[in-house]
Structure 1
Amino acid sequence: MTTTPDVDLTALVPGRHALRDRLLGLDLRLFEAVAARHWPGCDPVLPRLSRGANHGLLWFATAAAVAASRTPRARRAAVRGVASLALASATINTVGKRSVRRTRPGLGPVPAVRQLKRQPVTTSFPSGHAASAAAFAAGVALESRGWGAAVAPLAAAVALSRVYTGVHFPSDVVAGAALGVGAAYAVRALVPTRDQVTPPGRPRTDAPALAEGEGLVMVANRGSGTAERAGALAAALPGAEIVECEPADVREELEKAAARARVLGVCGGDGTVNTAAEVALRHGIPLAVLPGGTLNHFAHDLGVEGERDLARALQEGEAVQVDVGRFASGGTEGIFLNTCSLGVYPELVRERENWSQVIGSWPAGVLGALRVLRADHHPLRAELGGRSHPLWLLFAGNGTYHRMGLAPARRFDLADGRLDVRVVHGGRHPAVRLLAAAFAGPLTRSPAHAAVRVGRLRVEGVAPGTLLAYDGEVTEVSGEVTLRKSPEALTVYRPAAAR
């Protein structure tokens, strides 16, 4: 009877150090293979590309070139790319380089013509250049696939150049690229892309399909700087009629256009769009909105970012029905497509706009709150659910606003039949409550805030001369103010899906 000798099974499994040595050996062989290979045309290009990416200069220049296309999606892609690069660089410099102190490869196998004139002095792992390249390209691609595809070859070339010039091992580049992609996704978690926050619109409705734009009369407000955008739409829809006018003539031109148009078009800011919506409602015709102002909340919530989106919707006859908010106080009536506010908020907005260009939006909001608090204000009385409440601030949205991460609040449904009412309660310590609203914003929730969704709201005891802000415009109200909804009252063109 023969016996089988005992076998040490642990000997069949490489130890941790043996596995590490094998990986390092593979890394070195790949590095030497790249060094030994002749790459036609790369000697004069890749070293310069590698130097050009120092300190992110190449990517800042690329971001500027992308943003120069002047489309909203391109500008967002450029900003997202730079933000992703900044996060990746900060992570590399504060954590990555200090956690693994790996020495740089020896330059013996690398031809002298490829070597950089100034060799980096930091540790080798991971590659900061690869991380920045991957972060920028991934950030751009998450916002715009087209621009991402255009930037990706450049990012890949920069990553390859780090091995080609002998300053990194391949594993340094792979790890850096993985970290860069992770940084881009981390930025997206904080600030979602437009595709994440703009779901398909509803309810869809029939609207004329204007293949060449025939029957569309577009009124463009020159005060919004819309001439170039309106001209681009005319190129895409040669049958459309474009009417440019001064701000004082917008209403008159819209009335004239509605009398002869199958579809009323408007190019301007939210206030101009509000006027156009009122005219379209009275004439019973669809509205086509081309964003041309500063914020363009309504157009962006529709998914219309520029002339290409609107042209496609008009050509395909894609439209939805949206709710219209209405306010009334005595003989004063009006509509709002975005928001309507009472109390000190209109004054706070006015002060914030005066200072935002100088010190930025958020600090300007806090400064505006401080300046407003210096005035003598009394709380409003609002009737909610049959009960009267004292309020310092009332903010009503035409549809429910949602917030994802650090992105501005957006509406997913423009026909939900509800007013999204946010209030700052009256009572003691008004300064603390108003400052909390200024810091957090009216569309967030805090102990000083309350939120309710209703179809109708009545506010009583409004002092004469009280300001009411609606879609960027301001009017005076007094006595009783009523807010209500007209469900699915307005037909608006909207692209079927982002492309």
Structure 2
Amino acid sequence: MSELTSHVSVSPGRRVAEWLSRRDHAVFHAVASRHWPGADRVLPRLSQSANHGLLWFGAAAGIVAVGKSTRSRRAAMRGVASLALASATVNTVGKRSVRRIRPVLDAVPLMRQLKRQPVTTSFPSGHSASAAAFATGVALESKGWGAVVAPVAGAVALSRIYTGAHFPSDVAVGAALGVGAAFAVRGLVPTRDQLPSPGRPHTEAPRLPGGKDLVVVVNKASGSATAKAALVREALPAAEVREVEPDDLCDEIDRAVKSARALGVCGGDGTVNRAAVAAARAGIPLAVFPGGTLNHFAYDLGIETVDDTCRALTAGDAVKVDLGRFTPGPNPDGAPGYFLNTFSLGVYPELVRIREHWSPRIGGWPAGVLAAFQVLRGERPLEAEVRGKRRGMWMLFAGNGLYQRMGPTPGRRFDLADGLLDVRVVHGGRLPGLRLMLAALAGPLSRSAFHAAGRMRRLRVAGIEPGTPLAFDGEVATAPAAFVVDKADEALTVYRPLPIALSNSL
């Protein structure tokens, strides 16, 4: 018998598998039987709190509440999306592919065992996948929040071994799947750092280190403008910072452009609009400090913090951008009105108001759908003549530059000087909420029974009923009976920092 056994060979692959299995069990016993002060109370509770992703949903809510910034909201949403993909992958593919028995709990002290033992197969660890996916997703969008979440995610993964729920290999593979899910989400929805900042055409502007010869007008009623004003004063001690009430904003901007080499503005998109028009007319550059709720224009420029603008001011880095224009404008003299972001007719003015109220809480696209259903109940289509043809429509939208996100509401622009209008129309008809939702699912340049979109340089609209509201950059006015929408190409110079990697190479 021994002679027969001596001739039986074991394949190298099997020997490796047996060695890995022995090491897996050895590490499991070492971790499960070791006592760490305080861990017996903390790790089992932490492991249970991560059931069904509840810990990470709570963490996402905390990031949004504490961070109070667009980057924080993006980080939380990316973490949750990564978690969802990892969980779906593990539960539909991973658990069914390898049916591994859970570890025997003889080496695990009773006080640290989970009150409810898992009944699914052991490989891979779903908790570890969710923890790694959430932490990686958050870190890809915000390194600061990623550093906060990572230790918690590591503790959850360790707890699965410590409580006897998984072998170390289950945890390692689950974590790898979670990291892969986060990168897969980034492949579908790039992080802001991956997207090219609008930088064409680059131009030079006066270098103003410390803010010398810069006047910054702050709208005290805008979002976080007052808090940002303190940061501006600290970062730019030579700048003159003027905080004003909304009623005094236009007069203060007019006074500022007469004495400054560059005009700074801190507030929301409506405030930035007024400053941009004044700066363009005076022929001086604009420095934008995001101080509103959403700050579409600043973020499309690649400006998220006061430091971003300060770097551009010090280096004199700037870009030319277009101004959207509609003639006649809202003033009695018939002078053109201008928009940096969007112009719209129909239900869109009210839709914008509701969407911007909910967007910081639930995200832009869900808020847009919610706003559509609230606004369109009981409304009737707008009747207007567009490009020589009279038609009914729920909404007409014109963007200053092409927006990349799908649907009839604005997303991100890669080029703020493309000379084009992004025009979108939701046609009139029954079930307006359904029409707008289907338009939101359509491509940005699609054409259907519900939604039409296209690139244009000029658009004429006529036959508007008296009292019809129009909206531009969050401001609402009464539309004239007929008007033309076009562009003032490269009319404004705006400070915008070069990407750090590029500036270091120059």
Tell me the C-alpha RMSD between the 2 structures. 3.5
Please give the per-residue CA displacement for 1:117-162, whole angstroms capped at 9, x wherever unaligned: 6463333222122112211121012213454355445433432343
Could you tell me which residue of structure 2 aligns to residue 6 of structure 1? none
Unaligned runs of 5+ in 2: 1-7, 502-506
Aligned residues of 1:339 and 1:395 also touching (Cα < 8 A): yes
Q: Tell me, yes or no, if structure 1 residue 345 matches structure 2 residue 348.
A: yes
Alpha-carbon offset, residue 61 of structure 1:
6.0
Query: Which residue of 346, 349, 362 maps to 2:369?
Result: 362
Of 359-368 and 165-174, more deviation after overlay is shown by 359-368
Q: CA separation in 1, counterparts of 2:353 and 2:152?
A: 45
Give the 3-state SS of the residue equivalent to 1:402 in structure 2. coil
**Residues 329-357 of structure 1: per-residue CA shift (max 9 Å, x gap):** 38252101111122443355467678989
Residues 1:174 and 1:418: Cα distance change in structure 2 (over 3 Å): same
The farther-off stretch of 449-458 and 268-277 is 449-458
Higher mean C-alpha deviation, range 85-94 or range 297-306: 85-94
Deviation at 1:497, TM superposition (A): 1.9
**CA 1:24–1:267: 2 relative to 1, 3 Å:** farther
Shift of 1:388: 4.0
SS across alignment from 1:212: helix
Q: How does 1:19-418 map to 2 (within 5 A)?
A: 19=14, 23=17, 26-33=20-27, 35-36=29-30, 42-45=36-39, 48-49=42-43, 51-56=45-50, 59=56, 62-63=59-60, 66-67=63-64, 68-93=66-91, 96-97=94-95, 100-109=98-107, 112=109, 115-116=112-113, 118=115, 120-122=117-119, 123-149=121-147, 151-225=149-223, 226-329=225-328, 331=334, 333-346=336-349, 348-349=351-352, 360-373=367-380, 377=381, 379-383=383-387, 388=389, 390=391, 392=393, 393-403=395-405, 409-418=411-420
Share of identical aligned residues, percent?
A: 54
3-state SS of 2:193 partner: helix
Distance, in Å, in 1 between the alignment partners of 2:432 and 2:150 is 48
Give distance in 1, aligned partners of 2:409 and 2:480: 35
Q: Which sits farther off after the overlay, 349-358 or 116-125? A: 349-358
TM-superposed CA distance for 1:408, in Å, is 6.0
CA contact (8 A) 1:462 1:478 kept: yes
* Mapped contact 1:43–1:113 kept (Cα < 8 A): no
TM-score, normalised on structure 2?
A: 0.82
| Partner Cα separation in structure 2 for residue 180 and residue 355 of structure 1 | 30
Classify the secondary structure of the residue corresponding to 1:465.
coil
**Residues 114, 187 of structure 1: CA spacing in aligned structure 2 closer, same or farther, 3 A cutoff?**
farther
SS at match of 1:239: coil
Q: Deviations over 1:4-45 (max 9, x none)?
A: xxxxxxx98849xx74x8536523423314534799994534
Distance 1:378-1:104 versus aligned 2 partners, 3 A rule? closer
Shift of residue 177, structure 1, vs aligned partner: 0.8
Q: Deviations over 1:462-483 (max 9, x none)?
A: 3332322111112223332011
Separation in 2, partners of 1:370, 1:310 = 42
Structure 1 CA distance for aligned equivalents of residues 302 and 246 of structure 2: 25
- Count of aligned residue pairs for this structure pair: 476
User: What's the CA shift for 1:435?
Assistant: 4.4
- Per-residue displacement from partner, 1:371-428 (whole Å, max 9, x unpaired)? 222xxx5521122xxx545352321111111127999621110000111112245xxx
2: CA distance, partners of 1:34 / 1:405 = 51
> Residues 223 and 246 of structure 1 are in contact (CA less than 8 Å); yes or no, is this contact kept in structure 2?
yes
* Range moving further from structure 2, 131-140 or 89-98: 89-98
Task: Give the CA deviation at 1:50.
Answer: 5.2
**Deviating more after overlay: 274-283 vs 325-334:** 325-334
- Paired residues of 2:33 and 2:107 also in contact (CA < 8 A): no
Greater shift after overlay, 163-172 or 128-137? 163-172
1:239 corresponds to which letter in structure 2?
A
What TM-score, normalized by structure 1, do the two folds share? 0.83
> How far 1:273 moved relative to its partner?
1.0
Conserved 8 A contact 1:349-1:368? no
* Alpha-carbon separation, structure 2, partners of 1:46 and 1:494: 52
How far apart, in 2, do the equivalents of 1:405 and 1:379 lie? 22
| Aligned equivalents of 1:24, 1:119: Cα separation in 2 | 31
Shift of 1:289: 1.3
**1:47·1:116 contact (CA, 8 Å) conserved in 2?**
no
Name the stretch that deviates more: 179-188 or 436-445: 436-445
Cα distance, 1:101 vs structure 2: 3.7
Query: What SS does structure 2 have at the residue aligned with 1:431?
Result: coil
**Distance in 2 separating the partners of 1:261 and 1:242:** 12
